[in-house]
Structure 1
């Protein structure tokens, strides 16, 4: 079988190292602290892989430190329905983050394959305008990743720091109860005693950083791979424009240019299929978690509005905006891929096919036909990621909110 990820026979782009570094920079920064980068990058040394394994163990231990006490407490010990609902949001997000972390580790080989595919494409660029197209798309991916980081960390860290520090409750004149985001430690030790409280509080903040790093890592991978595919589709359309005249590919026949177009098209389709295989399970977790947690955050905002707690309202509202924008990015990425692939049919038809010799124009029919069925990013292969899906998520969260209000009243 032909190995599509091997090094190209000839490297045309002399700037490929800088281009690859620029493309993967933000993703590498996010994946390294949680130990995933050296797991997926095949050029990592044994020492780096050992560090990666240590980081993964440490991160998973911190997540378990949150889930093991708070999970049973939320489900079994807490009897107040309002308090139980308030805990479902953060505990549920931590659980889904841990599951996504597992999927990232399980899909490490496939992610590495996609990264090598991206590197290969940067190495074989022959024309400066093609490189500019790819750099423009890389910039889009970097901006999406940056926005995801800003929104998630702003909302998430404010919830894990401002909320506990601003809601200290006095039980009596001699004792002050210092709340924690995740309860349930009282059966193991006294979480209110110093320095135990401070240690647990810091571990909760560390777990929040890990959770949001996992979510932004998934978003970064999706953004980089999707925008890279869009750049390759745009290159394909320039190759189609050059099919008849051959101004760029001089001294080549129509057959050779058509062969190049077909190979490029198939390669992009395979890459998108690989990306879909890597991300479809994680996207399903994102979709389900976003629907439920957005519903809970809407409920929290309404409850705190009734309690007139300005700090809590502001914190929950920021978190609501953050998670809503996060799922919007995933849906936008899916919409972007479909939109770019759908342009291939128009580009193929707009070629001066009537000037092609013989029956060469018939060879474009297959490209046009395939373009009518563009590849899509899906959530667990159940539903497509698109802006329509995003609107469905918001509508569903409102429906669940009304149901939740009816049950709790």
Structure 2
């Protein structure tokens, strides 16, 4: 029987909002493997949609960089391309290293399941709240920045009419679309929406990476604090029976070995 009967609720609590974002991207490493066809099909569909959106910005961006003759403009587009490549790489890690992430979460679940007292649970919850707060703050800033860059910035620039009487409406990220006239309606609106959705996906990938890091780091921090409390309690308590001493030493050693793993 688990010593912490509420460990499943605790796992759901500490993994928000990272779990919700990764579920939307189809990349959440569920601790219990999904055997039914429907969840796997939904995840596969979400993965295809995510990769399609990411490719819709990366491929035109690379073609634009190759076709552009101005060195200054090419240098300006390099950070956008690097950010696109980084987002696709991070998302690929979520997908292809899902089993490793699942094993990490399995360790986290076992630690929460085997908490020895209410005090240790409070220590873990206190650390988890810090990680959840950091992930939430990161999400707010990242989504706000992406919204401003993808919508407010290009729309605030207005339209430009060239000498050939061609109306140019700016995009957040430039791209090469071959012979497609991207400045006429509804092509411009469609591409503008796709770029906004792609920006949300890219930011979600970055937030998920930060959220996973926060979950594992604060979990390790909580486990170390529990180990310190066990050692302090063992040293500060008055003389005890030899049997109790051996039991507490075994508990400390076992917890230390698990933390180091």
Listed as ranges, the gaps of 5+ residues in structure 1 are: 1-9, 271-409
SS across alignment from 1:13: coil
User: Does 2:240 match 1:234?
Assistant: no
How much has 1:109 moved relative to structure 2? 0.5
Report what 2:215 is aligned to: 224
User: Does 2:162 match 1:178?
Assistant: no
User: 2:146·2:203 contact (CA, 8 Å) conserved in 1?
Assistant: yes
- Of residues 53, 78, 81, the one that matches 1:88 is 78
Distance of 2:242 and 2:132 partners within structure 1: 38
SS across alignment from 1:183: coil
Distance of 1:122 and 1:176 partners within structure 2: 60
Distance 1:221 1:255, change over 3 A: same
Report what 1:102 is aligned to: 92
Distance of 2:93 and 2:185 partners within structure 1: 37
SS across alignment from 1:242: helix
Report what 1:405 is aligned to: none
Report what 1:339 is aligned to: none
Of structures 1 and 2, the one with the larger relative CO (CA 8 A, separation 6+) is: 2
Q: What whole-Å deviation, never above 9, does each CA across 1:201-246 have from its counterpart, x for those lacking one?
A: 1110111011000000000000011001100000001111222466
Distance of 1:269 and 1:225 partners within structure 2: 13
How much has 1:169 moved relative to structure 2? 1.8
- Of residues 3, 15, 19, the one that matches 1:24 is 15
User: Does 2:205 match 1:214?
Assistant: yes
Distance of 1:84 and 1:175 partners within structure 2: 23
Distance 1:30 1:252, change over 3 A: farther
User: Does 2:139 match 1:149?
Assistant: yes
Moved over 3 A (4+): 172-175, 244-247, 249-252
Aligned residues: 258
What does 1:129-140 align with in structure 2 at a 5 Å threshold? 129-140=119-130
How much has 1:198 moved relative to structure 2? 0.6
Report what 1:192 is aligned to: 183
Q: What whole-Å deviation, never above 9, does each CA across 1:305-343 have from its counterpart, x for those lacking one?
A: xxxxxxxxxxxxxxxxxxxxxxxxxxxxxxxxxxxxxxx
User: Does 2:117 match 1:127?
Assistant: yes
SS across alignment from 1:185: coil
User: 1:137·1:230 contact (CA, 8 Å) conserved in 2?
Assistant: yes
Distance of 1:195 and 1:252 partners within structure 2: 79
How much has 1:188 moved relative to structure 2? 4.5
